[in-house]
Chain A
Amino acid sequence: MQINIINGEYKVAEKYLRILETTLFHKKWAKRLLEVLYDESRIAQISWVKEKRPLVPSSEDLRRPNEHIKALNLLLEENPKNQKALHYKLCYHLLSKDVEEFAYTFFEYRDILLRGRIPRVYQEALVVYYINNPDLEIWSEIPVEPATISRFADYNKQFERYEGEGLKLKAKFEETYWFYYHYADAEED
């Protein structure tokens, strides 16, 4: 229903609000929205409408239902600061074990991403990419924490000691991207 309002589909939103109007916990909220529903100027002032409408792509394109990366790229083209779309895209690559695409995306948006602390799982994936591409100039801009690097060294040591036997690594490294990369079954889309 909120998506319908954001998209200006007020008739559909009204249908759902009429139901919510009869519920115990949402009736006041629904009544308030119904009062302003067709008043564009008042709808545009609602905080979540104000926040979401600028994120909707304005350039027309088509995408197939399973083209998730295209959908996220369209959102990022419209608003490169769309953090949710960016993190969804990065995580999609991580879940797909596509470390290369993850790194490309990370580097492309590094200005935005480096404004805060890099999430641990991103750092772990970047270390994996670094192993195969140590000579890139860009590494000087990417602050991977020493603790991550030393933990990665530990993971590798244990991996070799136990000859890749996942169960032995599980207790200590289950939460790491390296463990996911080696042992998780990523399903095909």
Chain B
Amino acid sequence: MRKLIGFIIIMQMQKKINVHIISILLSGIGLILSFGCSEPDLSDVSYVDQKPLIYPDYTDIVIPPNIAPLNFMVPDSIDRVVVTMRGTEDKMKIEGKHKIFFRIDRFNKFLEAHKGDTLWIEVSTLNRKKWSKYLPFFWYVANEPIDQWLSYRLIEPGYEVWNKINLSLRNVSNFEEKVLADNNQLDGACMNCHIGNQKLPGKSFFHLRHPERGGTIINENGDLRKIDTSTEGTISSGVYGNWHPGGRFIAFSTNIIIPEFYSTNDMRMEVYDTTSDLVVLDIRKNEIFSGNSISKPGQFETFPEFSADGERLFFCVADSVVLPEGYKSLKYSLCSVDFFEETRSFGDCVDTLFSAKKHDKTVSEPRVSPDGQYLLFTVFDYGTFPIWHPEARLNLIDLKNGEINELPEINNNKKYSNSYHCWASNSRWIVFASKRDDGLYGKPYFAYIDKEGQGHKPFVLPQKDPEFYDYFYKSFNIPELFSIQPGFEAEDIEDIFSMSSEKVTPVGIEYNGSVQ
């Protein structure tokens, strides 16, 4: 009997415990349900006849199938945001307070399943207990992926001095970033222009500027060399440069660069050259050579770029003017000349693709699409350095017929520069640095160029936290796409920095920079 009573007491206790557990579970479910209740009640939702105001602006864009999640936010005054991403195959619902974070694996799979298809993004927001539903916007998922790696220099957007700068590498399919070179490990050396070779993706170079241990770092699949490209026969060491597709040559400008401030407050800075020529570095022979047509007396040549087949060299050229007085009449045309790899020489006939005189504009930074079809360049009012020119715009030349496309879809910002652009290896994507958001901080923007050469609305490099750019105080300089990782680490750069530089020999170049 005592056992039975004991059993009943235990049963009752267990019952109580169970009831307690059940009540906890139910309250939990209640909590879940209460969150579930935050979903828009369609009978009590206001339909807003416009697209939602989101940051970054990812509305109505073409995106690569391998891009990192396009996390975004609505104004922080919003109490709750619900997003539905609908494709023909699937749909995905995400909720947040005012930020939307997609799961990387689900986002990547979703995009992969919808290549060549349109996704519709519906946004509903809760504000003061009232739901609003906005017009959907679209993401068209292109078939062509973007190169997975993006290199850039991070630097405070100052003018003369810097505290910390580094070259970084971002995986654009997720949010991983690593440092490729850091000035803290390099005695404060400045570094710039990390440029890849789209035809031979294991090759890249960049400059380290340091009074004793500087040089141009040549990376060939992780094997690093440091070359001092300055010679007594050239104006300076190599500055703006690009690879020959064969990987043996790099064309450089050699310049005397002068930065000057504007006195007025509508422009910040003008950077110009008081002299410049072009040279080519032969990395096999460690020799520098030039040619009459690319280093003419009385002309400033700069921004060399080889054609996709390596048989021509594009460059910008201006008649010299008295500087700084004549800075507004310093205008560069876009030209090209034959390059003969076997004889390391140039043709005599220089073609003009974009005449500064005819257009009353200047150009810089020609970059040829790896398929050889197009050339992307920057057009602005005067000078050679576009980043502080608010009117600087990207233009595209069809190299088959010379037609110029002013790319209104890409230059859709009212002001602030679009410049320092680069093609993806499949020629369908570009990245460029744009100051469009605030006029000061450059950010990498991607844009799709379709097979007909039409540009599409750009979008900024996605970050894990959509608020990232608000609290980031560095500019992204010279974004450059790589289809494979450059095969070196920051420690490798630290090692080679401590080593002496290889020297180069000028071949057929006089002391004053003109050709013999």
Contact = CB atoms under 8 A, between A and B. Distances in A.
Interface stretch (A51-59, A142-150, A159-167, A169-177): A51-59
Contacts of B270: 62
A4 B324 CA distance: 26
Contacts of B262: 60-62
B259 to A, nearest CB: 7
Contacts of A7: 265
Contacts of A63: 260-261, 263
Contacts of B438: 9, 11-12, 14-15
A12 B265 contact: no
Contacts of A14: 438
Interface residues of A, number: 22
A66 B425 CA distance: 43
Contacts of A57: 263-264
Contacts of B259: 64-65
A67 to B, nearest CB: 8
B439 A65 contact: no
Interface in A4-55: 6-9, 11-12, 14-15, 18-19
Nearest to A18: B470
A74 B265 CA distance: 12
Contact of A60 (B264, B439, B471): B264
A59 B264 contact: yes
A11 B436 CA distance: 10
A11 B267 CA distance: 15
Contact of B327 (A18, A56, A59, A62): A62
B258 interface: yes
A16 to B, nearest CB: 9
B49 interface: no
Interface string B252-291: 0000001111111101001000000000000000000000
A58 B160 CA distance: 24
Contact of A15 (B264, B265, B324, B470): B470
A12 B327 contact: no
A65 B263 contact: no
Given A9-B438, A15-B438, A59-B264, A65 B470 contact: no
B440 interface: yes
B437 A58 contact: no
A14 B258 CA distance: 31
Contacts of A15: 438, 441, 470
A50 to B, nearest CB: 15
B439 A12 contact: yes
B35 interface: no
A71 B260 CA distance: 11
A79 to B, nearest CB: 13
A14 B470 CA distance: 9
A62 B159 contact: no
A64 B274 CA distance: 13
A56 B263 CA distance: 8
Nearest to A8: B265
Contacts of B265: 6-8, 56
Contacts of A65: 159-160, 259-261
Interface in A55-105: 56-65, 71, 74
A56 B264 CA distance: 7
Contacts of B324: 62
Given A15-B470, A18-B470, A62 B439 contact: no
A30 to B, nearest CB: 14
A61 B263 contact: yes
Given A9-B439, A19-B471, A58 B264 contact: yes
Most chain B CB atoms below 10 A, which of A64, A65, A74: A65
Contacts of B159: 65
A50 B439 CA distance: 23
Nearest to A4: B440
Nearest to A53: B265
Contact of A11 (B260, B261, B264, B439): B439
A71 B264 CA distance: 11
Interface in B419-460: 437-441
A64 B439 contact: no
A60 B259 CA distance: 16
Nearest to B324: A62
Contacts of A19: 471
A64 B258 CA distance: 8
A169 B263 CA distance: 44
B260 to A, nearest CB: 4
A14 to B, nearest CB: 8
A60 B266 CA distance: 9
B440 A9 contact: yes
A62 B328 CA distance: 11
Contacts of A60: 262-264, 267
Nearest to A65: B160
Contacts of A56: 264-265
Nearest to B467: A18
Question: Which 8 pairs across A and B sit closest by C-beta, in order of nearness?
Answer: A11-B438, A62-B260, A7-B265, A57-B263, A61-B263, A74-B263, A12-B438, A12-B440
11 contacts: A7-B265, A9-B440, A12-B438, A15-B470, A57-B264, A61-B262, A62-B260, A62-B270, A64-B260, A71-B261, A74-B263
Interface of A: 6-9, 11-12, 14-15, 18-19, 56-65, 71, 74
Interface of B: 159-160, 258-265, 267, 270, 324, 327, 437-441, 470-471
Given A18-B470, A71-B261, 19 more contacts: A6-B265, A9-B439, A11-B438, A12-B438, A12-B440, A14-B438, A19-B471, A56-B264, A56-B265, A58-B264, A59-B263, A59-B264, A62-B260, A62-B262, A62-B327, A63-B263, A64-B260, A65-B160, A65-B261
